[in-house]
Amino acid sequence: MKAVVDAIARLGRLFLDGVQHAGSMALFAVELAWVLIPTWTRPRDILQQVYAAGVLSLVIILVAGGFVGLVLGLQGYNILSNFNASESLGVMVALSLVRELGPVVAALLFAGRAGSAITAEIALMKTTEQLAALEMMAVDPLRRVIGPRFWGAMISVPLLAALFSLVGIVGGYLIGVVVLGVDQASYWGQIREQMEAWDDVGGGAIKSLAFGAVIALISVYEGYRAEPTASGMARATTQTVVLSSLAVLGLDFVMTAFMFGA
């Protein structure tokens, strides 16, 4: 009897912890929103963060995009040739990349590569009381440390997602046209016929912008509120990757339902 009550109580505590976490993140987001525009008074800081988060993630994004495109080309060709429709390979590869895989996979990779780094950096600053020192000197750490990192991540993700899709489509071209012998003109022709500029490319861009904002918020929040200990830092970094991945996938479903539903 006692064990059952304990189990229920534990479940209740887990739930309450989750709600509290979400609530304090929302409060933090509001607090952060106030400094987001003033952050642009120091564009150098943002630029530095775009470099750290975006440019340094380029290698993993481009390589992953290439391989995803190659695999899509290979698998798509196998399935489509069953229906004698291998000419549609291009549009299959392009639409799956532009609508879904580009934004989602780029965001997941970004969360692992750059989001965790942002969290770790901020958490270490907090652990070593650098943030407190800034406050002592009347410098707002939200504005000088958190804001630029938020912008850096949010700007980088859509750009990385676009490059991911582009490289993926070229990868599909390599495997489909160069290796498997799909007609080159119909690879590009079908893409051009069926890909919509606003609905598909624009929709993908909006998605990746939203993913960028979510990952950026989670990364800086987890770092800012990390327990100032070694294990607290480790937990915060893990939490960033787990929460970002789940948030991206969940948000992707909701956004897809709205954009491509009906």
Partner 1 sequence: MNVQRGVELVVGLFVLAGIAALMVMALQWSNFGASRVSGYEVTARFDNVGGLTVQSPVKLAGLTIGRVDSIEIHPETFQAEVRMVIDDKYDNLPTDSFANIYTAGLLGAQYVEISPGGAIESLEDGDRITMTQSAIILESVVSKFLFDKAKE
User: Shortest distance, CB of residue 5 to partner 1, whole angstroms?
Assistant: 55
Residue 168 burial (CB count, 10 A) = 30
Residue type, 256: T
Q: Report the distance separating Cα 144 and Cα 147, nearest Å.
A: 6
Task: State the minimum distance, in angstroms, from the CB of residue 77 to partner 1.
Answer: 18
Distance CA 175, CA 23 (A): 48
* 25, 133 Cβ separation under 8 angstroms: no
Residue type at 58? L
Whose Cβ is closer to partner 1: residue 71's or residue 201's?
201
CB of 203 to partner 1, least distance (A): 11
Smallest separation (angstroms) from partner 1 to the CB of 104: 16
The token duo for 124 is 């270490």
**Rounded (10°) CA dihedral 161, 60, 113, 32:** -30
Residue 39: what residue type? Answer: T
Instruction: Rule CB under 8 A: say whether 213 interacts with partner 1.
Output: no
Burial 106-143 (b: 16+ CB within 10 A, else e): bbbbbbbbbbbbbbbbbbebbbeeebeebeeeeeebbb
Helix, strand or coil, per DSSP, at residue 139: coil
- Which listed residue (109, 142, 191, 226) binds partner 1 by CB under 8 A? 191
**122 counts as binding partner 1 under rule CB under 8 A:** no
Report the residue number, 167 or 241, with the smaller CB distance to partner 1.
167
Which tokens hold the place of 28? 């933090």
If one asks whether residue 69 binds partner 1 (CB under 8 A), the answer comes out as no
Q: Of 124-132, 164-172, 236-244, 254-262, which segment contacts partner 1 by CB under 8 A?
A: 164-172
Q: Among 196, 242, 250, 257, which residue sits at the site for partner 1 (rule: CB under 8 A)? A: 196
Q: Shortest gap between Cβ of 11 and partner 1 (angstroms)?
A: 44
Q: Does position 180 bind partner 1 by CB under 8 A?
A: no
Based on the shown chain and the rule CB under 8 A, indicate whether residue 192 belongs to the binding site for partner 1. Answer: yes
Tell me how far, at minimum, the Cβ of 229 lies from partner 1, in Å.
Answer: 33
Positions touching partner 1 (CB under 8 A) are 44, 47-48, 50-51, 54-55, 58, 94, 98, 155, 158-160, 162-163, 165-166, 169, 188, 191-197, 200-202, 205
